[in-house]
Amino acid sequence: MNAMKQPTMWETYTKKYLESDYMRKDKSPQQEESRYYVYDMMQRMAADGDVSMLDLGCGPGAVDTVAMNRIDGVTCTGMDTENILGHAKKNVPKGTPFVECDILRGLPSEEYDVVNIRHVLEHVPGYEVLLSEVFRIARKRVIITFFMPLGEDDHYHVLYGSRSFRNKYSKERFEEFLRVCGVWWDRRCLTTNVIYDIRV
Ligand SMILES: C[S@@+](CC[C@H](N)C(=O)[O-])C[C@H]1O[C@@H](n2cnc3c(N)ncnc32)[C@H](O)[C@@H]1O
């Protein structure tokens, strides 16, 4: 049989899709709120001057591409693993630094106005070391989006398949961690996603 190879989800995030449907509110009703949250925030910040954003676990670099293409003064740096970055690099404006790295193995020393971590912490085995590093290099804001609201359970290290994690974190413990880090945050509960908008 000569079956057509189906594109992976990331392969569907083409330049054309990002320019058209990615930010359309009627096309991705559960996803768009958190996409817009980051985008709108970047727009407000850029009104006061240039803004740099580090996007950890950037996937196909969608929010970075959209923000850089539409908002003057925004520069983004993406970090993710090699196979994903191939897609991201096709989309982002030429010359954008998209760096292949394991974000759990330490972050570079450069500082960024904003660090964006969207739908990523669920996939890594714990957040403490990573977020301590993030708070070191973020100048103004850290935006953490969880796919689902945090609950009471703290299921750590839940391996899903051979490499991926689908961890659940306890809200109480997560917020206690933020308190200990000395950051201030605003928790926004969207239709499905929950956002921690953190001022460092
Ligand atoms: C669900 S995707 C989210 C992608 C993007 N942030 C978005 O909102 O569309 C999770 C991403 O985290 C990346 N990721 C997970 N663990 C990572 C690690 N240790 N180092 C770098 N990237 C990682 C995955 O490769 C994947 O692209």
pLDDT tens across 109-153, in order? Answer: 999 999 999 999 998 888 999 999 999 999 999 999 998 888 888
Mean pLDDT of 155-179: 86
Is the shortest distance between the CB of 67 and ligand 1 below 6 Å? no
Tokens of 5: 């190879």
Q: Which of 65, 123, 164, 193 to mutate to test the pocket of ligand 1 (most atoms within 8 A of CB)?
A: 123
Is the shortest distance between the CB of 130 and ligand 1 below 6 Å? no
**Considering the chain, what is the average pLDDT of its residues?**
89
For 9-167, strand residue ranges (E) read 51-56, 74-80, 98-100, 112-118, 138-146, 159-160, 164-165
pTM value? 0.93
Residue 50 has pLDDT above 60, yes or no: yes
Residue 197: what pLDDT?
A: 98
Q: 74-80 and 159-160 as β-strands: parallel, antiparallel, unpaired?
A: unpaired
Residue 85: what pLDDT?
A: 83
**Separation of CA 99 and ligand 1 centre (Å):** 13
Is the shortest distance between the CB of 35 and ligand 1 below 6 Å? no
Is the shortest distance between the CB of 180 and ligand 1 below 6 Å? no
How many CA atoms does the CB half-sphere of 109 hold within 13 Å? 0
Residue 163 has pLDDT above 70, yes or no: no
Q: 31-199: which CATH topology?
A: Rossmann fold (3.40.50)
pLDDT tens across 171-181, in order? Answer: 999 999 999 99
